């Protein structure tokens, strides 16, 4: 059911696209799944079936594709000797256009549903600025905001700058240090999950297989979002801004009440600034859910299959049937 396809980008990096197809496709448009900044495609496909959103989408009748951006374990990066440095410009100008073109050609359609987690959602917004928004039928963003002013991680901007002489931050190695404490609720693990909302097996998959390196160049671009400054382009030109009128695809914003990286206030600010049609949902005990939600467990948490997934599946089904989603009302 899962097939790995190697694509060659315009700047000659190899990137991995993973295709999921049960042979029983009932939905019109495929779903493209994109991971976050220090993550890879396994956030959608952990190897534990009941927590794998990619497989659930397949059962719902979608043709599904996910991607390992450059620098991740499935694509070129330091581990392949291809390169030690990469940027968000590389994603937007090379990795993503190559991937979207492949998906549309392979699916024989002209649009897709973009589902991103964290940076994966941010890239969905900025892709529309750099490329054709008409390629997107809908955008779903788990734990994504276009300001991190309200985020706990914002306090680390200066500390990360002290390490900027490096070409990349070995976040994967840093988190392996805390592996013996993985079942405890620690300061470090709170950045990536809420302790009560993850199966112990999934915690180990996250530390051992999902957490990845962060390139200094991509960090230097994304950190400006921390202060709502927009995101600069290494290639020059104007910054990417949240209220850019080229961002027109209907968006569903999903956030957790205990997310230390993507705070609820930041997602609300993003919703209010966007010009496209938007919907927003907050998950946590104070919002009628079984537990609090953090950054990664919003996708693969213990309660995600019955709490955060169903509204997204309903949203995708509705957008799949919509003939003119861009023409819908601004708040949906």
Q: Where are the domains of the chain?
A: 2-320
Query: What's the Cα-to-Cα distance from 221 to each of 56, 112, 215, 224, 235, rounded to whole Å?
Result: 33, 27, 10, 6, 11
Report the alpha-carbon distance of residue 89 to residue 235 in Å, rounded.
7
The answer to whether the beta carbons of residues 292 and 197 sit under 8 Å apart is yes
Q: Which of 160-169, 254-263, 297-306 has the lowest mean pLDDT?
A: 160-169
Q: Which residues pair with 68 in a beta bridge?
A: 16
The pLDDT tens digits of the residues spanning 110-139 come to 999 999 999 999 999 999 999 989 999 999
Query: Which of 49, 95, 100 shows the shortest CA–CA distance to 72?
Result: 95
The pLDDT tens digits of the residues spanning 173-215 come to 989 998 999 999 988 899 899 999 999 999 999 999 999 999 9
Q: Taking residues 65-72, report their average pLDDT.
A: 97
What is the token pair recorded at 107? Answer: 């699916």
Instruction: Please calculate the CA angle 7-317-143 and round it to the nearest 5 degrees.
Output: 65
| Confidence band for 234, pLDDT divided at 50, 70 and 90 | confident
Q: Which CATH number fits domain 2-320: 3.30.1540.20, 3.30.43.10, 3.50.50.60, 3.40.50.1820?
A: 3.40.50.1820
Counting residues of the chain whose pLDDT is more than 70, the rounded percentage is: 92
Q: What is the overall mean pLDDT for the chain?
A: 91
Counting residues of the chain whose pLDDT is more than 90, the rounded percentage is: 74
Nearest 5°: phi and psi at 6?
-95, 120
Q: Taking residues 251-259, report their average pLDDT.
A: 97
| Confidence band for 329, pLDDT divided at 50, 70 and 90 | very low
The SS3 call for residue 35 is coil
Give the other-Cβ count within 10 Å of 89's Cβ: 18
**pLDDT for residue 155 is more than 60:** no
């Amino acid at each position: 059911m899962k097939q790995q396809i190697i694509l060659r980008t315009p700047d000659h990096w190899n990137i991995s696209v993973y295709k999921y197809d049960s042979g029983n496709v009932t939905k019109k448009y495929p779903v493209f799944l994109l991971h976050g900044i220090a993550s890879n495609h396994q956030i959608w496909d952990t190897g534990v079936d009941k927590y794998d959103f990619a497989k659930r989408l397949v059962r719902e009748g979608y043709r599904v594709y996910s991607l390992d951006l450059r620098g991740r374990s499935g694509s070129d990066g330091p581990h392949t000797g291809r390169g030690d440095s990469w940027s968000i410009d590389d994603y937007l100008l090379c990795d993503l256009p190559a991937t979207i073109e492949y998906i549309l050609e392979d699916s024989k359609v002209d649009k897709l549903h973009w589902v991103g987690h964290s940076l994966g959602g941010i890239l969905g917004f900025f892709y529309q600025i750099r490329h054709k928004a008409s390629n997107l039928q809908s955008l779903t963003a788990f734990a994504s905001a276009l300001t991190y002013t309200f985020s706990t991680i914002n306090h680390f901007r200066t500390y990360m700058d002290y390490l900027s002489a490096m070409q990349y931050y070995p976040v994967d190695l840093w988190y392996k240090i805390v592996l013996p404490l993985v079942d405890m609720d620690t300061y470090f693990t709170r950045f990536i999950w809420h302790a009560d909302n993850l199966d112990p097996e999934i915690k180990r998959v996250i530390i051992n297989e999902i957490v990845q390196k962060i390139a200094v160049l991509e960090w230097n671009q994304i950190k400006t979002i921390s202060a709502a400054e927009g995101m600069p382009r290494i290639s020059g030109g104007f910054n990417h801004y949240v209220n850019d009128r080229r961002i027109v695809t209907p968006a569903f914003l999903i956030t957790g009440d205990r997310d230390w990286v993507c705070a609820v206030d930041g997602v609300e600010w993003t919703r209010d600034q966007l010009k496209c049609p938007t919907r927003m949902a907050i998950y946590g005990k104070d919002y009628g859910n079984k537990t609090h939600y953090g950054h990664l467990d919003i996708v693969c948490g213990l309660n995600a299959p019955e709490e955060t997934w169903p509204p997204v599946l309903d949203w995708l089904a509705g957008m799949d049937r919509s003939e003119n989603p861009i023409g819908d009302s601004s708040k949906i």
